[in-house]
Structure 1
């Protein structure tokens, strides 16, 4: 049971014979003002504790997906396989399958309860990976561990519903970006652990961290005061998750296994068929996992901006890691060294993410999330185009990486705030889950596209640290394409800013007209209506 009162949503209110005016003000209260159970309206010791616990939960998502890559050669040797791509992408693909189910479950059964269950699932998966005797058991563990992918969007909606709006926005900015601090120190902390206890200690560490995070969430974080009604659309969730996972697998693994191989073509067809089946099912179902009929214009614009901006940022990270391995002495017109600067070049974006996400959350609480989203995209575009010179100048590359990280932090935080703020409270979990999937989709697709540009412009017979290199034209074209993606992302972000200035984006979909009428009624009764963030 949740701590504090459970707020009835529109769906459940209709089943009671309450006066019409009470029902209208009740809906307005949830959309425009803090929910009755919101427990924090000012920053203090308790809120700082909540921020630390929720950030710890998000750290697990990063560890579940990224940490095994530190021991990838040892894993390949242990399981006597050359399928590095599957070991690399398995947790993220599992996250795409888990996300729709866990997102909807969090709306129905409570964010804290589902978050605790998610963390224990990830803990179990890490232990399975730790003890796996063969690659198939290992992949099963990675499937369970992939549930940690959902921790990010569940913590976002939980923060939104246990705090007043302005405080929640700052908290979301902090928890979505704070885990990047771990990305800076993790290699320095984990490498000695691996050296002493072996490569499997990565999974034991992840299991311990997941267990600690689950216990902290259970005993230190209050439950969301809001519940939806209905049921989990298991068929729709599996079709959506399976279709997305298949397409992500095709984009992630196609370059290694062959784009036109039978297995990859079958995967692509299966993914497309599953998504088509999900769309048809969602249009007919009474309670779909994602109600595509009710997706509002602000949500769609936000998702479009996020998929473009996230793809651009992740593709630039890939390029930076490649260019860092190219010595300037090869005479290619670019290069940042022999790899000695990789740690600095990859740490700079993580530091930027922390700064950008935290500042964007604070700004969103005062000016709304649309302006800092547009500002973050503008900073990202500037950083991308500046890398035209940065690919051959290390100090400039570090600055560009930091700016790109700041942009990514702002974009991620404001994207979650915008998308969830445009939905009714009982659907915010599902919408936040959709944001996470879109971010992953953009990252994979555009990173793959950038890699194909580099492949098409390789210099025959020239290698850097054993890897093939591309021409300066190919590298510069890669940078320009990343910058163009940021520019394209700015267009929907600008429309969101303009809509806000024109009166604010209202939650749409079922019940939209009633919400607008209730806002006016609330104002007449002394309530202070405001725009949904």
Structure 2
């Protein structure tokens, strides 16, 4: 009789058997002093923060770059997203196989090298190369989560993991005012010099302070799986990111999307037949993992829409009827309370998880995000209203991002944690990419024009277009809350 390969609809979290590596990691935990744990958290957290800054720091200065290089400047964002989509799951898997700290150092090294290339370059081609190299650094966040889960004293694991996970949003919120400040006072190359210095400090800190986890699975690299996954993700992300340039009626967009589906289906069929797959699809089909990853898409969508729907809203001219004519710096500073809220509420969420459980905590975060977007729809007349509503969204995002890795880690075998967190980060990033594609389309669907002496001198999205975008984000928050509340509590039989 052949045993079914269908994965169980797990209700109980995975409890891996104790191994020699577990014993060694427990010895590391036992001998890790509070000061040493703080240093480890500091350098891993700094790496996550700088990586997150890198992903968003060019958004406010994209207009300046387009003035210097034309519409091809968009590839400075697209190249980073494409490489990040490919490298995050692959480096996560390699971290499980050969060492999370080793892959974390490689990720931070890529950040540093890519930043240096951009800091000294004035040619668009080399700038794109540098940004592409930086894309590999995106794996630092899931690798840092997985590494700290094995190194921190057990009573500090939840708060440490929550903090690193929240950095994905914190860095984005802090990166916008930083970029605005630099753009108003210096050349945009300064942004890359800042990243370079922070990258060097982080690399040296991790190298000298953070030990390697003893959880290493070993094995051979699935090269065919890596090629198929890379091809499928590139064909999926590229048309979404370039849809505003190519247009949704472009044959390139739909051909690439069809190719993405075809390649990813082939990838799934290939991986299910392998004994040592690049991605354990059986584990991904567990109900709590599927639900958490779907909720991550919603959170990623709502967070990135907050970036593009706040700074541009605040910076729009008063002639639009809603904008405040603010500077790049003010537009970025409007998001600063949101980033600080994420930073503050990440450890609060860790305590909530201990009391109420990760699913309810994640659902609460999603509900707060939805409420923040409803406030954005209703209150538009004052700058402080925008800042308060954005801060509410930040609170919900900080709580939600803190809860996600707790669910992923609880339902994933120990030897696959880095890969699972990498894929969860990929789903969050995919939500951000969807926000770029759908958000741009929504905002472009309804425009108002500034007319002076009978001549159109400027154009901007209408308030109605922004409200539609905010409504979609609120629905994304509600959907995330509903999804995670379907995760059964431990010990409760799954519903049929």
Matching of residues 431-510 of structure 1 within 5 Å:
431-459=420-448, 466-472=458-464, 474-496=465-487, 498-500=488-490, 502=492
Q: Distance in 2 between matches of 1:357 and 1:25?
A: 25
**TM-score (structure 2 length as normaliser):** 0.86
Q: CA deviation at 1:178?
A: 4.9
Q: Distance in 2 between matches of 1:328 and 1:93?
A: 36
Paired position in structure 1 for 2:293? 303
Q: Does 1:401 align with 2:390?
A: yes
- Compared with structure 1, are the counterparts of its residues 502 and 253 closer, same or farther at alpha carbon in structure 2 (3 Å cutoff)? same
Paired position in structure 1 for 2:6? none
- Compared with structure 1, are the counterparts of its residues 116 and 68 closer, same or farther at alpha carbon in structure 2 (3 Å cutoff)? same
Which 5+ residue runs of structure 1 have no aligned equivalent? 1-23, 505-533
Paired position in structure 1 for 2:404? 415
Q: Is the 8 A contact 1:377 1:490 kept in 2?
A: yes
Q: CA deviation at 1:115?
A: 0.6
Q: Deviations over 1:165-204 (max 9, x none)?
A: 4421101122233576665665666677778874333323
Q: Is the 8 A contact 2:173 2:339 kept in 1?
A: yes
Q: Distance in 2 between matches of 1:438 and 1:141?
A: 24
SS at match of 2:460: strand
Q: Is the 8 A contact 1:33 1:165 kept in 2?
A: no
Q: Distance in 2 between matches of 1:25 and 1:307?
A: 27
Matching of residues 318-333 of structure 1 within 5 Å:
318-326=308-316, 330-331=320-321
Q: Deviations over 1:146-176 (max 9, x none)?
A: 1111111000000111134442110112223
SS at match of 2:335: helix
Q: Distance in 2 between matches of 1:344 and 1:196?
A: 15
Q: Does 1:126 align with 2:115?
A: yes
Q: Is the 8 A contact 1:116 1:215 kept in 2?
A: no
Paired position in structure 2 for 1:339? 326
Q: Is the 8 A contact 2:222 2:277 kept in 1?
A: yes
- Compared with structure 1, are the counterparts of its residues 25 and 352 closer, same or farther at alpha carbon in structure 2 (3 Å cutoff)? closer
Paired position in structure 2 for 1:168? 157
- Compared with structure 1, are the counterparts of its residues 56 and 25 closer, same or farther at alpha carbon in structure 2 (3 Å cutoff)? closer
Q: Is the 8 A contact 1:113 1:218 kept in 2?
A: no
Matching of residues 201-220 of structure 1 within 5 Å:
201-220=190-209
Matching of residues 250-329 of structure 1 within 5 Å:
250-295=239-284, 296-326=286-316
Q: Distance in 2 between matches of 1:178 and 1:300?
A: 23
Q: Does 1:136 align with 2:87?
A: no
Q: Distance in 2 between matches of 1:193 and 1:397?
A: 23
Q: Deviations over 1:49-95 (max 9, x none)?
A: 222111111122123323344554554566x4431221122212211
Paired position in structure 1 for 2:340? 351
Q: CA deviation at 1:247?
A: 1.6
Paired position in structure 2 for 1:223? 212
Q: Among residues 92, 103, 108, which one is paired with 1:114 in the alignment? A: 103
Q: Is the 8 A contact 1:162 1:225 kept in 2?
A: no
Q: Distance in 1 between matches of 2:382 and 2:182?
A: 34
Q: Distance in 1 between matches of 2:20 and 2:395?
A: 31
Q: Is the 8 A contact 1:92 1:149 kept in 2?
A: no
Q: Deviations over 1:212-260 (max 9, x none)?
A: 2111101111211211132221221232233223322211111112233
SS at match of 2:29: coil
Aligned residue-pair number: 476
Paired position in structure 1 for 2:17? 27
Moved more, 444-453 or 27-36: 27-36
Q: Is the 8 A contact 1:302 1:415 kept in 2?
A: yes
Which 5+ residue runs of structure 2 have no aligned equivalent? 1-13
Q: Is the 8 A contact 1:356 1:409 kept in 2?
A: yes
Paired position in structure 1 for 2:78? 89
Matching of residues 26-45 of structure 1 within 5 Å:
27=17, 36-39=26-29, 44-45=34-35
Q: Distance in 1 between matches of 2:350 and 2:176?
A: 28
Q: Is the 8 A contact 1:35 1:161 kept in 2?
A: yes
Q: Is the 8 A contact 1:40 1:162 kept in 2?
A: no
